[in-house]
Amino acid sequence: MNITATADKTTNDKVKITVTVSATDVDAAIDGAYKDIAKKYAFQGFRRGRAPRPVINGIVGKQAVFAQATEDLIQNVQPQMLDELDIVAISKPDYGEDPKLVEEHKDFTVEALVSVPPVCELDTYDAPSITMPPEHATDAEIDRQIDQLLSYNTTYEEDKDAKQATESSVVVLDVKNIEGLPEFEGSARQFVLDSPYIPQEFAQGVTGMKLDESKEISWVRKEDKKETPVKVNVTLKTLKRAVKPELTDEFAKKSMGFDTVEKLRDAIKEEIENDKKTSLPSLKEDRVVEAMGEHLKLDEVPEDYQKQVFSELANEFLSQLQRQGATLDMYLASRGIKSDDFLADLHVQAQERARQSLALNAIANKLNLEATEADVEEEFKSVGKDYKKQMAQFKKNGQMPAIRESIRRSKAVKWLVENASVEVVDEVAQANKDAEKKAKAPKKTSKKSADKASSKGAEKKTAKTEK
Q: What is the CATH number of the domain that holds 52?
A: 3.30.70.1050
pLDDT tops 90 at residue 436: no
Non-local (6+) Cβ contacts of 183 within 8 A are none
| Burial readout 40-79 (b: 16 or more C-beta within 10 A, e: otherwise) | eeebeeeeeeebeeeebeeebeeeebbebbbbbbbebbbb
CA dist 297 and 124 (Å) reads 10
| CA separation for the pair 29, 21 (Å, rounded) | 11
* Rounded Cα gap, residues 13 and 405, in angstroms: 16
Residue 161 sits in the same domain as residue 72: no
* pLDDT at position 10 over 90: no
Cβ–Cβ under 8 Å, residues 104 and 6: no
Q: Are residues 39 and 102 in the same domain?
A: yes
Query: Kind and range of the H or E element at 70?
Result: helix 62-85
Instruction: Encode pLDDT of 380-421 as tens digits.
Output: 988 777 888 889 899 889 999 999 999 999 999 999 999 999
**pLDDT tens per residue across span 316-335:** 999 999 999 999 988 988 88
Are the C-beta atoms of 136 and 277 separated by less than 8 Å? Answer: no
Residue 176: strand pairing partners: 233
Query: In whole angstroms, what is the distance from residue 302 CA to residue 309 CA?
Result: 11
Bridge partners, 11 (sequence order): 14
Which three-class secondary structure string do you get for 367-412? CCCCCCHHHHHHHHHCCCCCHHHHHHHHHHCCCHHHHHHHHHHHHH
Q: Is 39 inside a domain boundary?
A: yes
- In sequence order, the 6+-apart residues with CB closer than 8 A to the CB of 199 are 219, 221, 230
**Who's near 305: CB < 8 A, 6+ residues apart?**
13, 90, 115, 117, 118, 354
Is 460 contained in some domain? no
Residues 235 and 300 in one domain: no
Regarding whether 303 and 410 lie in a shared domain, the answer is yes
Distances (CA, A) of 232 to 12, 223, 252: 55, 19, 43
Sheet with 108-115: strands ordered across: 3-11, 14-21, 108-115
Q: 14 and 52 share a domain?
A: yes
- Looking at the 3D structure of the chain, how many domains does it have? 3
The pLDDT assigned to 221 comes to: 84
pLDDT at 36 over 50: yes
Q: Are residue 306 and residue 168 in the same domain, yes or no?
A: no
Is 431 among the domain residues?
no
432 within some domain: no
pLDDT for the residue numbered 224: 66
Indicate the average pLDDT of the chain: 90
Q: What is the mean pLDDT of residues 142-155?
A: 92
444 located within any domain: no
* Together in a domain, 12 and 48: yes
Name residues whose C-beta falls within 8 Å of residue 270's C-beta, 6 or more positions apart in sequence: 137
381 occurs within a structural domain: yes
Decide if pLDDT at 443 tops 50.
Answer: yes
> Do 263 and 225 belong to one domain?
no
CB 48 within 8 A of CB 39: yes
Please report which confidence band the pLDDT of residue 101 belongs to, taking 50, 70 and 90 as the band edges: very high
Q: How many CB atoms lie within 10 A of CB 32?
A: 15
Q: Does 298 lie in the same domain as 206?
A: no
pLDDT at 1: 86
Length of the chain equals 467
405: domain CATH number is 1.10.3120.10
Q: What is the mean pLDDT of residues 284-291?
A: 97
What are the distances in angstroms from CA 203 to CA 166, 173, 213, 439?
9, 12, 15, 21
Does residue 359 lie within any of the structural domains? Answer: yes
Both 296 and 357 in one domain: the answer is: yes
pLDDT in tens, 207-262: 999 999 999 999 998 776 788 899 999 999 999 998 989 999 999 999 889 999 99
- Average pLDDT, stretch 293-313? 93
Q: Is residue 132 in some structural domain?
A: no
Split at pLDDT 50, 70, 90, the class of 444 is low
pLDDT band at 440 (very low <50, low <70, confident <90, very high): confident
* E-only strand ranges, 180-225: 186-192, 214-223
pLDDT at residue 45 greater than cutoff 50? yes
Average pLDDT over residues 345-371: 96
Domain that holds residue 181: 155-243
Q: What is the CATH number of the domain that holds 214?
A: 3.10.50.40
pLDDT at 465 over 50: no
Which one of 243, 275, 301 terminates a domain? 243
Q: Are residues 347 and 235 in the same domain?
A: no
In the predicted structure, residue 448 carries a pLDDT above the cut 50: no
| Residues 232 and 323 occupy one common structural domain | no
